């Protein structure tokens, strides 16, 4: 099935509530991720003109709802992609949380539906359901959750939830509810996505694999009389030249040893997430074949769960690779890079203004002398755009 090609795209950044660093797999170059730092990242994303930020979920992270609630008043236009967790939350409680955050942020909430793919972590949260049953819980959860957010009074007696007089007193700003994002690479996950959500997310695989995956999900949605939109989750390593970008990629894993890689891969192997399995197969735990597609580098996935690939290159190259995914039917790009504050600026200044954005890249300036123009020369005059001879 051929997907329509979007004319415009939305680009989101990432809030590293599980840690940030100059290097992967080591405490060297680690950075304190406290509220002041997360505020810096969020404000940078807001100022640079990113559409929103993704907040991760899980026991390795600060709680995404609390962090988003703290940062919403510190930003103006930035949207917050925050996770609901079927099985961890009741659908009516999640609906109240959703409506509240949507209201206090002025309609800037996006909702990420996360089923959870690590059985060990799930058991730590009291969830002992298997893979297929978790998606069954997710679909039942979403039926109640969406109905309550639409303003309905819900009476529901299902396999996993029993609700009597389930309703909201205070509705969300966005109608019928904030947009629902969802990632699930298994067959059962794809079927639930086709029936229930608005935007289907994939991690960054080679374009041919992504195209096949999206076409399969859209075919399932079409059979349900629905059409989805699509997003992709990627890291980026952008520098002035391709050579500098590849050097930065290698530098990111300079302290990564084989024992650390093996330990990380053993954790990923215990998961029943099909998406995580697909990520691991891209590199097989080996660091000698990490460019798995032109400018698509799998080095991040050696030790990081979830999204494990990065677009690497100069601004023109990275923009071209993004456009390649856009032409597959993707209209939303959720990006990150290390450290997240610096890479937000690199991508935001070098690439973002040259993409066909559905949102403004920067807020309009209110004064004619607000740059950007660099540092004043000799305290006397502004620099021009001429470059010194090399």
**pLDDT band for position 80 (50/70/90)?**
very high
Per-residue pLDDT, 369: 55
The mean of the pLDDT values for the chain is: 91
| Per-residue pLDDT at 361 exceeds 80 | no
**DSSP state at residue 286:** -
| Per-residue pLDDT at 187 exceeds 80 | yes
> Residue 192's CB: how many other CB atoms inside 10 A?
23
In this structure, are residues 214 and 145 in contact, taking their beta carbons and an 8 Å threshold?
A: no
Per-residue pLDDT, 166: 97
Q: Which residues contact 77 (CB under 8 A, 6 or more apart)?
A: 46, 108, 363
List the one residue out of 9, 13, 39 whose CA is nearest residue 348: 13
Per-residue pLDDT, 362: 64
Which of 193-202, 340-349, 357-366 has the weakest average pLDDT? 357-366
**pLDDT band for position 387 (50/70/90)?**
low
Query: Tokens 């995580």 appear where?
Result: 276
- Axis crossing angle, helix 315-326 with helix 207-223, rounded to the nearest 10: 30
**pLDDT band for position 284 (50/70/90)?**
confident
**pTM for the complete prediction?**
0.92
- What is the set of domains in the chain, with CATH numbers? 10-354 (3.20.20.30)
Q: Which residues contact 10 (CB under 8 A, 6 or more apart)?
A: 51, 52, 331, 332, 333, 357, 358, 359
What's the pLDDT tens digit per position in 89-126? 999 999 999 999 999 999 999 999 998 768 888 888 88
**DSSP state at residue 159:** S
- What region does 285 belong to: left with phi over 0, alpha with psi -120 to 50, or beta? left
């Amino acid at each position: 099935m051929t997907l329509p090609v979007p004319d415009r795209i939305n680009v989101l950044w990432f809030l590293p509530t599980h840690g940030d660093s100059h290097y992967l797999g080591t405490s060297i170059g680690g950075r304190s991720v406290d509220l002041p730092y997360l505020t810096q990242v969020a404000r940078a994303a807001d100022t640079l003109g990113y559409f929103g930020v993704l907040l991760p979920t899980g026991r390795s992270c600060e709680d995404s709802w609390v962090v988003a609630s703290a940062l919403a008043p510190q930003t103006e236009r930035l949207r917050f992609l925050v996770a609901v967790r079927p099985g961890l939350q009741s659908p009516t409680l999640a609906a109240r949380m959703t409506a509240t955050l949507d209201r206090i942020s002025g309609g800037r909430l996006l909702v990420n539906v996360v089923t959870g793919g690590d059985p060990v972590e799930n058991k730590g949260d009291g969830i002992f359901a298997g893979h297929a049953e978790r998606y069954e819980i997710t679909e039942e959860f979403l039926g109640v959750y969406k109905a309550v957010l639409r303003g309905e009074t819900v009476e529901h007696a299902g396999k996993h939830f029993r609700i009597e007089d389930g309703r909201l007193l205070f509705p969300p700003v966005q109608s019928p509810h904030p947009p629902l994002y969802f990632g699930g690479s298994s067959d059962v996950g794809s079927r639930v996505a086709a029936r229930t959500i608005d935007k289907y997310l994939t991690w960054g695989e080679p374009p041919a694999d992504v195209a096949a995956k999206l076409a399969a999900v859209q075919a399932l949605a079409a059979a349900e009389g629905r059409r989805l939109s699509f997003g992709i989750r990627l890291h980026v390593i952008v520098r002035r030249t391709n050579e500098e970008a590849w050097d930065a990629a290698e530098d990111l894993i300079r302290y990564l040893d084989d024992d650390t890689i093996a330990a990380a891969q053993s954790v990923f192997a215990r998961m029943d997430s099909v998406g995580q399995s697909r990520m691991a197969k891209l590199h097989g735990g080996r660091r000698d074949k990490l460019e798995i597609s032109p400018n698509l580098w799998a080095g991040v996935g050696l030790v990081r769960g979830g999204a494990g690939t990065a677009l690497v290159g100069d601004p023109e190259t990275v923009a071209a690779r993004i456009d390649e995914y856009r032409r597959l039917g993707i209209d939303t790009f959720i990006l990150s890079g290390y450290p997240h504050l610096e890479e937000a600026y690199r991508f935001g200044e070098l690439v973002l203004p040259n993409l066909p954005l559905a949102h403004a890249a920067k807020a309009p300036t209110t004064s004619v002398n607000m740059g950007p123009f660099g540092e004043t020369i000799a305290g006397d005059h502004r620099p021009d755009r001429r470059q010194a001879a090399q």
